[in-house]
């Protein structure tokens, strides 16, 4: 039942167009590097790991498109395309991580190699990044599943599911695995204004998997916690600093604060490719600002006066002190995070 969010099919990059879900399930081919950039920017493909994998394949798309005649020309085109794709979205570090991996392979390729040889080498690396994501997500599911007790209520924000990765997710991987193990639990999905990734994508994925999910407006989370319906929060991450401060979808910080106020453990699920060791804390994480129209005219209908001022950061940073644990592919990391992160990285 897992989705296939991204695939490299006979030299073509195919993605699910997530802007059409849940009413339309449609795959599209991205044939130019501009199309890849645009798909990332407009959230046709989104979620930190999925953005990274798409960008890695996006470099292959660029080389296919430009048809460089030598290794040197291919290297030039690759770096131009990588610099360009790096401008698509600033917060998810997986984008830069994947582009750097591809650049590293290209730069280290033998000087005598031709453009076709370099392309094959890069194709292997992109496929490796894709395959690693599948495995890492399953390992996250395995490590996290014991945290969901029989009968628990779990709250999640945004979409950290198969649609945010190659096929299995991070926060949702924990739920998928617990469900596969036969555990019964209930998920509350925040709808996640303004782009409704929780309503459109998380609810869709969990229902497809046969997991009991209830959609709530973002401003309902404190009330369901007070009613005793939530025992655990699990969210994904776009970038985690060396001290555990975590950037994730706007509204995640609110959820962490109210979970703390209700003594509910708040977990982050993320692969090591989402950690940014160059940042000592979350204050340096670049936060993407989105188009005001996503707030005032989301999904077609106008919901605010013309010309109203809008502030729309796409992400916020949850301080490490509010995080009970970080579920990774190697282990669940516990505070103090500066130590546990540096030990496991």
Which residues are part of the catalytic machinery? 238
Dist. CA 300–CA 102, nearest whole Å: 38
Instruction: Note whether 48 binds ligand MRU by CB under 6 A.
Output: yes
The 3-state DSSP class for residue 100 equals: helix
Q: Cβ of residue 110: shortest distance to ligand MRU, in angstroms?
A: 36
For ligand MRU, the closer CB: 122 or 234: 234
Residue least distant from ligand MRU (Cβ): 236
The 3-state DSSP class for residue 190 equals: strand
**Which residues inside 115-144 make contact with ligand MRU, applying CB under 6 A?**
none
> Exactly one of 167, 238, 245, 316 binds ligand MRU (CB under 6 A); which one?
238
DSSP string, 233-301: EEE--SEEETT--EEEETTHHHHHHHHHHTT--EEEE--GGGEETT-SSGGG----B--THHHHSGGGS
For ligand MRU, the closer CB: 77 or 167: 167
State the number of CA atoms in the 13 A half-sphere of 287 facing the CB: 17
> Exactly one of 237, 255, 259, 327 binds ligand MRU (CB under 6 A); which one?
237
Q: Cβ of residue 118: shortest distance to ligand MRU, in angstroms?
A: 30
Place of tokens 């009991």: 212
The 3-state DSSP class for residue 168 equals: coil
- Under a CB-based contact definition with an 8 Å cutoff, are residues 60 and 13 in contact? yes
Instruction: Note whether 175 binds ligand MRU by CB under 6 A.
Output: no
Q: Cβ of residue 5: shortest distance to ligand MRU, in angstroms?
A: 11
Stretch of residues binding ligand MRU (CB under 6 A), selected from 3-11, 105-113, 160-168, 183-191: 160-168
Instruction: Note whether 248 binds ligand MRU by CB under 6 A.
Output: yes
Q: Cβ of residue 19: shortest distance to ligand MRU, in angstroms?
A: 11
Dist. CA 170–CA 130, nearest whole Å: 14
Instruction: Note whether 178 binds ligand MRU by CB under 6 A.
Output: no
Instruction: Note whether 92 binds ligand MRU by CB under 6 A.
Output: yes
Instruction: Note whether 282 binds ligand MRU by CB under 6 A.
Output: no
For residues 179 to 218, the per-residue mask of contacts with ligand MRU, x marking binding by CB under 6 A and - elsewhere, is: ------------------x---------------------
Stretch of residues binding ligand MRU (CB under 6 A), selected from 9-17, 21-29, 42-50, 213-221: 42-50
Instruction: Note whether 46 binds ligand MRU by CB under 6 A.
Output: yes
Instruction: Note whether 47 binds ligand MRU by CB under 6 A.
Output: yes
Place of tokens 């962490």: 256
Instruction: Note whether 164 binds ligand MRU by CB under 6 A.
Output: yes
Place of tokens 């031709």: 114
Instruction: Note whether 236 binds ligand MRU by CB under 6 A.
Output: yes
Q: How many residues touch ligand MRU (CB under 6 A)?
A: 18
Dist. CA 252–CA 71, nearest whole Å: 45
**Bridge partner list, 316:** 248
Strands ordered across the beta sheet of 12-16:
6-9, 12-16, 27-30
Instruction: Note whether 49 binds ligand MRU by CB under 6 A.
Output: yes
| Interior/surface letters 69-82, b for 16+ CB within 10 angstroms, e for the rest | eebeebbebbbebb
Q: Which helix (H) or strand (E) holds 215?
A: strand 212-216
Q: Cβ of residue 32: shortest distance to ligand MRU, in angstroms?
A: 22
Give which of 36, 287, 50, 281 is closest to 164, Cα–Cα: 50
| Contacting positions for ligand MRU (CB under 6 A) | 43, 46-49, 92, 158, 160, 164-165, 170, 197, 236-238, 248-249, 314
């Amino acid at each position: 039942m897992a989705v296939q969010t991204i695939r490299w099919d006979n030299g073509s990059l195919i993605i699910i167009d997530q802007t059409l879900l849940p009413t339309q399930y449609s795959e599209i081919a991205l044939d130019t590097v501009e199309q890849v950039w645009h798909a990332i920017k407009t959230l046709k493909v989104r979620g930190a790991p999925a953005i990274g994998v798409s960008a890695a394949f996006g470099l292959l798309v660029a080389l296919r498109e430009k048809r460089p005649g030598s290794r040197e020309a291919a290297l030039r085109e690759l770096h131009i395309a990588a610099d360009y794709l790096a401008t698509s979205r600033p917060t998810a570090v997986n984008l830069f991580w994947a582009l750097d991996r591809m650049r590293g392979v290209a730069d280290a390729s033998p000087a005598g190699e031709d453009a076709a040889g370099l392309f094959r080498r890069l194709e292997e690396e992109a496929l490796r990044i894709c395959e690693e994501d599948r495995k890492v997500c399953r390992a996250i599911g395995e490590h996290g599943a014991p945290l969901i007790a029989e009968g628990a209520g779990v709250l999640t924000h945004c979409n950290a599911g198969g649609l945010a990765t190659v096929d299995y997710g991070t926060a949702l991987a924990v739920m998928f695995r617990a469900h596969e193990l036969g555990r019964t639990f209930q998920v509350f999905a925040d709808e996640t204004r303004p782009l409704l990734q929780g309503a459109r994508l998380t609810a869709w994925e969990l229902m497809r998997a046969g997991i009991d999910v209830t959609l709530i407006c973002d401003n309902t989370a404190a009330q369901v916690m007070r009613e005793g319906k939530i025992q655990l929060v699990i969210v994904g991450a776009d970038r985690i600093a060396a001290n555990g401060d975590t950037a994730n979808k706007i509204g995640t910080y609110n959820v962490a604060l109210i979970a703390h106020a209700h003594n509910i453990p708040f977990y982050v699920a993320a692969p090591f490719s989402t950690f940014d060791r160059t940042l000592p804390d979350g204050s340096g994480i670049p936060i993407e600002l989105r188009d005001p129209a996503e707030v005032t005219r989301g999904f077609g209908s106008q919901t605010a006066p013309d010309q109203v001022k809008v502030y729309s950061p796409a992400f916020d940073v949850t301080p490490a002190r509010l995080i009970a644990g970080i579920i990774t592919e190697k282990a669940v990391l516990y505070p103090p995070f500066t130590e546990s992160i540096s030990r496991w990285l």
